[in-house]
């Protein structure tokens, strides 16, 4: 398993369009992926799951993946979250 923390920089957080972009990016990879905020951890390939964590601007989320492409998956999603506007 590989994981990395990232700060949500999007001014509206991970809602609607930004969350959909994160889910789409995660779905490009074969690894099982999870996103965690505080004590809530959900499937990162589920739009409702990502929306349910309520990540706002300035929140720290943890992206984790387990599988054959786990490092690439986490790095791609982390980079996306850092650059979402």
For the entire predicted model, the pTM comes to 0.93
Work out the average pLDDT over 1-30. Answer: 96
What interhelical angle do 70-83 and 16-26 show, nearest 10?
160
- Mind listing the pLDDT tens digit for each residue in 16-68? 999 999 999 999 999 999 999 999 999 999 999 999 999 999 999 999 999 99
Where in the chain does DSSP place strands (E)?
A: 2-7, 32-37, 40-43, 60-66
What's the confidence (pLDDT) of residue 54?
A: 95
- Mind listing the pLDDT tens digit for each residue in 54-83? 999 999 999 999 999 999 999 999 999 999
Domain extent listing, the chain: 2-83
CATH 3.30.1340.10 fits 2-83, yes or no: yes
Distance CA 24, CA 26 (A): 5
| DSSP H or E segment with residue 32 | strand 32-37
Give me the active site residues, please.
15
Using 50, 70 and 90 to split pLDDT, how confident is the model at 85? confident
């Amino acid at each position: 398993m590989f994981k990395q923390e990232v700060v949500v920089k999007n001014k509206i957080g991970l809602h609607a369009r930004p969350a959909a972009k994160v889910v789409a990016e995660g779905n490009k990879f074969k690894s099982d992926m999870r996103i965690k905020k505080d004590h809530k951890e959900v499937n990162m390939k589920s739009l409702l799951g990502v929306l349910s964590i309520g990540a706002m601007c300035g929140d720290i989320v943890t992206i984790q993946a387990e599988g054959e492409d786990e490092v690439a998956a986490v790095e791609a999603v982390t980079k996306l979250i850092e650059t979402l506007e």
